[in-house]
Amino acid sequence: MAKGEGNMNHIHDVNEYERIPHTQVSNVNFFLINLTYRPPHMHHDFEIVQVIEGGLHVKTLTEEFDLGPGEIALFNPDVFHTLHSRQSDCILLTIQADPSFCAAHYPAIQNIRFNTSNVTSITPFAEALDIIHTCFNLGYNYCFRAPGFELRCVSDLYRLFSYFTAFVPYHMLKDTEIVNARNKDRRLTRIITYIHQHYRGKITLSELAEKEGLSITYLSHFFKDAMKMSFQEYVNSLRFEHAVLLLKKTDMNITDICLESGFSDSKYLNKRFQQAYHMTLKEFRKKTALMMPIEEYSQDEEMEQYIYTPQQGLQIMRKHHYFDCDHPKV
């Protein structure tokens, strides 16, 4: 095993339909995450993502846009989305809230679905600044953990959703529509789970169709209709993500990284890398070698992301005084 390789073989063995345990604040989780690439995934929660450092490229089934420091994306429950760093690294504040988190005071929240994820771009300037400051302040309060920080966090979250419902267009789903959508997603969840378990080896659409009891043609159309990309494109996206992580976090040579990730040679990987990062594999490795070593991260294998501890997160948040938030003084 190459130095630093660790448990990388298990990094993608997850279900892309995230089942999120809410253990930090009732029905809500907060994370400060260092992200390079996250393939299409969905979860039952609303998810708010704020860029703290770097830049983020966001893609959903209906939108594609870039975010810079401070800017925010809001993802509806049960909607696939892809996150891709625009540089070699990107630090994100991520907030995941079950739709029932404020149902006692606003029951309609469980049926609301926002019409866009690019919320700060369509919000009036003054309110957009307040959203940015409130979101950052929420993250700071969570990392700082002063007595009663849970109340501060929930208060900030209520404020965020009051802005979203006031300034972001949305529509209402019927309860039956929510149930039907989730039933349809069960097959897709099984398919994606299988792909994640086998993408580093030889995997074909025909074997997956046989496993699901479907024709190859039907499965191909079903997958592309749901994911807005072909089966092979999705497999290659997972292989690319795994190669990026190995390149960044291990000292394996390029050939071994290609084979470990499921690529037969380095030509496709090199081409994909130039398109994604506008640099060669060697340039990327040299740049990321200067970053924080993997031992200083906490790896959450279920979410395939590197999550900072609150103490590490606090150090990062303190650097970004330009957000001008009313965080507790130390």
Closest C-alpha to 15, from 40, 32, 49: 40
Q: Does 291 score more than 60 pLDDT?
A: no
Q: What is the CATH number of the domain that holds 160?
A: 2.60.120.10
Whether residues 102 and 59 fall in one domain: yes
Whether residues 227 and 270 fall in one domain: yes
Whether residues 154 and 232 fall in one domain: no
Whether residues 129 and 39 fall in one domain: yes
CA distances (Å), origin 327, targets 57, 133, 141, 153, 317 = 28, 10, 7, 11, 10
pLDDT of residue 53: 92
Q: Does 166 score more than 80 pLDDT?
A: yes
Residue with tokens 């069960």: 186
pTM of the model: 0.70
Whether residues 164 and 309 fall in one domain: yes
Whether residues 269 and 163 fall in one domain: no
Domain-embedded: residue 194: yes
Domain-embedded: residue 328: no
More confident residue, 49 or 238: 49
pLDDT band at 221 (very low <50, low <70, confident <90, very high): very high
pLDDT of residue 24: 62
Write out pLDDT tens, residues 89-133: 799 999 999 988 888 889 999 999 999 999 999 999 999 999 999
CA 248/CA 287 separation, integer angstroms: 9
Domain-embedded: residue 3: no
CA 131/CA 137 separation, integer angstroms: 10
Whether residues 183 and 49 fall in one domain: no
Q: Once rounded to an integer, what is the mean pLDDT over residues 138-146?
A: 91
Domain-embedded: residue 288: no
For 25, phi then psi, to 5°, come to: -130, 145
Domain-embedded: residue 182: yes
Domain-embedded: residue 156: yes
Q: Does 316 score more than 70 pLDDT?
A: yes
Domain-embedded: residue 289: no
Amino acid found at 221: H
Paired with 298 in beta bridges are: 307
More confident residue, 11 or 134: 134
More confident residue, 306 or 311: 311
CA 308/CA 254 separation, integer angstroms: 28
Q: Once rounded to an integer, what is the mean pLDDT over residues 197-208?
A: 92
Whether residues 71 and 166 fall in one domain: yes
CB 168 within 8 Å of CB 115 = yes
CB atoms within 10 A of CB 167: 15
pLDDT of residue 38: 82
CA 94/CA 73 separation, integer angstroms: 10
Cα-based torsion angle of the residue sequence 133, 101, 14, 263 in order, rounded to the nearest 10 degrees: -40
Domain-embedded: residue 115: yes
CA 118/CA 114 separation, integer angstroms: 10
Which residue range(s) make up the domain with 232?
Answer: 175-283
Q: Does 328 score more than 50 pLDDT?
A: no
CA 31/CA 302 separation, integer angstroms: 14
Longest CA–CA separation in the chain, Å: 63
Whether residues 188 and 164 fall in one domain: no
Q: What is the CATH number of the domain that holds 188?
A: 1.10.10.60
Instruction: Count the domains in the chain.
Output: 2
Whether residues 225 and 299 fall in one domain: no
Whether residues 106 and 157 fall in one domain: yes
Whether residues 37 and 139 fall in one domain: yes
Mapping DSSP onto H, E and C, the string for 103-134 reads: CCCCHHHHCEEECCCCHHHHCCHHHHHHHHHH
